[in-house]
Chains A and B, each alone.
Chain A
């Protein structure tokens, strides 16, 4: 038996409120009767206490039962038999009924802890302890971001509070509101790394479009406040309804765009003209769809094949027909390209083209949407010779490193139109065509332009916070 002042009981119960797994039972025994409380965690890990039973001694014995029998029946009905579920008995008065009740509880759960207290209201104490408990699960803000491979929106979590966070803790997160009607700040809980366990809260924030640095405060488990957001009110729609209204892709505000068309010139006239046709088609499509042509720039680069039978290494560079030009200038530049005779059959100067483009992109403003469309037959040369017998690029350019660098620094989207399907699943064409990969005889130019992020489909309103790929430091699906 333990004798505790309220402070000791508080500490004992506070530990149990944090550590219990399924449920915690607390039986309060005083001069008037008994009350049975139960603490459980809901699906998002928030602990709640409920009073499961309350009876005066006279009520317990009204049907002729002894206190012992009545208490045992209540215990069987309301208190778990599982030894991993803790049971605490508080007793603030002594007497026959109280002793009989304790005996009955001890018979049902021999491990139940008996605590002698005075002046403690258990219900109120449990309310305080559950409100002040640290988080049992992590809390994330649900945001939308664009998938790198195709620009489609996906929902991910941005961490607000980790498991163990205390009420009063703060978190900061920067998101973009894309709709004039504001956005929904939805907080989800995660019990593990793979699946969210449930929605903690969803509130409508009437914020204007633009970037917002939000301060989140953990009021208590199950309640996150955003103090700086005025007019926050609960969004009572079912979550499925919120998700159903999300657009497939983001309707972008107009910002500068730059398409680099890289065309392999090596091949027959027919092969070259088929490639040039699609470059011209895509440029025309963009010119037609772009609401502000001043915002659209197009570059045209022609590249051929390396020459390997010369005494000194071939250091020739791709032909830059136009750089960051208007669509009309790019069209004219495209016409200036001519087919060339292949000097090597199995690879072309794509890596040199990428090096040239990378160097020139360094001077481009960071906010520009940048897309690369490579149209050709031959994959790039590797930086070093391999078993496939393709000789290394004379300048040792590493096409994959260059592509990754541009994707990272410029958010580059890379698509390809190949003369024929890639020979293997590991073909460089598949990586170069990570945004879109078409064959020259089956191109969906509309879809290509959309995937490259250069034109947008009519889209719905994004009612959730948005984070761009560059802002995103990782998230959970």
Chain B
């Protein structure tokens, strides 16, 4: 692909986004993106990399990584519509032809194209039309995979997720479902619903106290996790605990607009839980990895161990490009 130095938000880029991302302001979208490349690097299945397709995206990626890893804090919230043209490239795989086994086919690396739109979280809910909002709705309409970020901490305090989601879904549905193309009345996207900030004490405590967590016997750090088959119920419980009564309807809203078999729920954390290196394992009395700093901001205390950050992206990639990584192990 040509190295085009197009500016973020350039509507003339001529490419349709594969995956679009949305969530309320402060729901952790930017931190999620910053953590994505770190998560891929830390993956045991080494070889996956996140690269920028153009100079702007490469620069942004470097800045996001640097913010998290060096400055040990979080990227500033998105103020304007920003396009990131990224690509996840997997390890090259050499395959032998079964009918000519002594010669190998040229190695080929699997690729997932990610056009992320990072945008101000509350833009969807704005009533007046503007260019940014149109671009956003366009991106949702044109994308085939969605990442929806749900921030339980914000919902417990502010509770505006339903308003944003409802507005965005109706905009997209109004564009896509009025014609005859989708006769089943459902949006065609695959959607990864990401519960963010699992490291937040409110979220982790609910998960632990309500019995949603399990310990992976192979995990030496003994970090409690919510098993995949219980994430949907955990999501429903978190919606129930929210500040806004309407939040309880979010799960039903998602399942009303999307095919159930195209929805997957993930419990994520961009930075993961704090692990005392002297102790070497999860300590239920001391797991805060994000604490206030003396300057009035937040700081990341220990090692960054993203949880379920690359998994939603790779799942969407698998769903959208089944041939590319269909035979690849991506969840371990």
Q: Which residues of chain A have a CB within 8 Å of any CB of chain B?
A: 305, 308-309, 311-313, 341-346, 383-387, 389-392, 396
Complex Cα gap A124–B96 (Å): 124
Asked if B292 and A346 sit within 8 Å, CB to CB, the answer is: yes
Interface residues of B in 190-226 (CB under 8 A from A): 201-202, 205
Closest chain A CB from B239 CB (angstroms): 19
**Interface membership of B277, Cβ < 8 A:** yes
Total A-B residue contacts, Cβ distance less than 8 Å: 53
Knowing A309-B301, A389-B292, A391-B291, the reply to whether A383 touches B285 (Cβ < 8 A) is yes
Complex Cα gap A305–B292 (Å): 13
Knowing A385-B288, A386-B201, A389-B288, the reply to whether A308 touches B301 (Cβ < 8 A) is yes
Given contacts A308-B291, A384-B284, A389-B291, 4 further A-B contacts (CB under 8 A): A311-B277, A312-B277, A312-B278, A344-B291
**Interface membership of B101, Cβ < 8 A:** no
Complex Cα gap A389–B286 (Å): 10
Knowing A308-B301, A384-B285, the reply to whether A345 touches B296 (Cβ < 8 A) is yes
Residues of B within 8 A of A309 (CB): 72, 299-301
Complex Cα gap A450–B24 (Å): 56
Name B205's closest neighbour in chain A (CB-CB): A387
Residues of A within 8 A of B72 (CB): 309
Residues of B within 8 A of A344 (CB): 291-294
Knowing A309-B72, A312-B277, A313-B278, the reply to whether A385 touches B201 (Cβ < 8 A) is yes
**Interface membership of B287, Cβ < 8 A:** yes
Residues of B within 8 A of A392 (CB): 285-286
| 23 pairs of residues in contact across A and B, judged by CB atoms under 8 Å | A308-B291, A308-B299, A309-B72, A309-B301, A312-B277, A313-B276, A343-B294, A344-B293, A345-B293, A346-B292, A383-B285, A384-B284, A384-B285, A384-B286, A385-B287, A387-B201, A387-B202, A389-B288, A389-B290, A389-B291, A391-B286, A392-B286, A396-B285
Closest chain B CB from A347 CB (angstroms): 10
Closest chain B CB from A229 CB (angstroms): 57
Complex Cα gap A65–B162 (Å): 99
Sorted nearest first, the 5 A-B pairs with minimum C-beta distance are A384-B285, A392-B286, A342-B294, A308-B301, A391-B288
Name A266's closest neighbour in chain B (CB-CB): B294
Complex Cα gap A346–B295 (Å): 11
Complex Cα gap A344–B290 (Å): 12
Name A341's closest neighbour in chain B (CB-CB): B294
Count of chain B residues with a beta carbon within 8 Å of a chain A beta carbon: 22
Residues of A within 8 A of B201 (CB): 385-387, 389
Closest chain B CB from A304 CB (angstroms): 11
Closest chain A CB from B50 CB (angstroms): 26
Complex Cα gap A126–B293 (Å): 83
Closest chain A CB from B26 CB (angstroms): 16
Complex Cα gap A305–B291 (Å): 14
Name A382's closest neighbour in chain B (CB-CB): B285
Name B299's closest neighbour in chain A (CB-CB): A309
User: B interface, by DSSP: helix, strand, loop or mixed?
Assistant: loop
Residues of B within 8 A of A342 (CB): 294
Residues of B within 8 A of A305 (CB): 294
Closest chain B CB from A305 CB (angstroms): 8
Complex Cα gap A320–B34 (Å): 44
Residues of A within 8 A of B293 (CB): 344-345
Residues of B within 8 A of A313 (CB): 276, 278
Closest chain B CB from A310 CB (angstroms): 9
Contact code string B226-243 (vs A, CB < 8 Å = 1, else 0): 000000000000000000
Residues of A within 8 A of B301 (CB): 308-309, 391
Residues of B within 8 A of A391 (CB): 274, 286, 288, 291, 301
Closest chain A CB from B210 CB (angstroms): 15
Contact code string B280-319 (vs A, CB < 8 Å = 1, else 0): 0000111110111110100111000000000000000000
Closest chain A CB from B191 CB (angstroms): 31
Name B286's closest neighbour in chain A (CB-CB): A392
Closest chain A CB from B321 CB (angstroms): 40
Residues of A within 8 A of B287 (CB): 385
Complex Cα gap A397–B285 (Å): 12
Closest chain A CB from B114 CB (angstroms): 31
Residues of A within 8 A of B205 (CB): 387
Complex Cα gap A217–B292 (Å): 66
Complex Cα gap A387–B204 (Å): 10
Knowing A384-B285, A385-B201, the reply to whether A345 touches B294 (Cβ < 8 A) is yes
Complex Cα gap A386–B278 (Å): 21
Residues of A within 8 A of B290 (CB): 389
Closest chain B CB from A133 CB (angstroms): 60
Residue among B274, B288, B291, B301 with most chain A CB within 10 A: B291
Residues of A within 8 A of B288 (CB): 385, 389, 391
Complex Cα gap A309–B294 (Å): 12
Complex Cα gap A390–B287 (Å): 11
Residues of B within 8 A of A385 (CB): 201, 285-288
Residue among A343, A344, A346, A383 with most chain B CB within 10 A: A344
Complex Cα gap A447–B28 (Å): 52
Complex Cα gap A305–B294 (Å): 10
Complex Cα gap A343–B294 (Å): 6
Name A343's closest neighbour in chain B (CB-CB): B294
Complex Cα gap A311–B280 (Å): 12
Closest chain A CB from B303 CB (angstroms): 8
Residues of A within 8 A of B285 (CB): 383-385, 392, 396
Closest chain A CB from B183 CB (angstroms): 49
Closest chain A CB from B31 CB (angstroms): 17
Residues of A within 8 A of B277 (CB): 311-312
Residues of A within 8 A of B294 (CB): 305, 341-345
Closest chain A CB from B311 CB (angstroms): 27
Closest chain B CB from A362 CB (angstroms): 26
Closest chain A CB from B297 CB (angstroms): 10
Complex Cα gap A43–B299 (Å): 70
Residues of A within 8 A of B284 (CB): 384
Complex Cα gap A387–B293 (Å): 17
Closest chain B CB from A127 CB (angstroms): 70
Name A342's closest neighbour in chain B (CB-CB): B294
Closest chain B CB from A343 CB (angstroms): 6
Contact code string B54-91 (vs A, CB < 8 Å = 1, else 0): 00000000000000000010000000000000000000
Residue among A308, A309, A383 with most chain B CB within 10 A: A308
Asked if B286 and A345 sit within 8 Å, CB to CB, the answer is: no
Closest chain A CB from B202 CB (angstroms): 6
Complex Cα gap A383–B285 (Å): 8
Residue among A313, A385, A392 with most chain B CB within 10 A: A385
Complex Cα gap A309–B302 (Å): 6
Residues of A within 8 A of B276 (CB): 313
Complex Cα gap A387–B205 (Å): 9
Residues of B within 8 A of A386 (CB): 201
Closest chain A CB from B4 CB (angstroms): 39
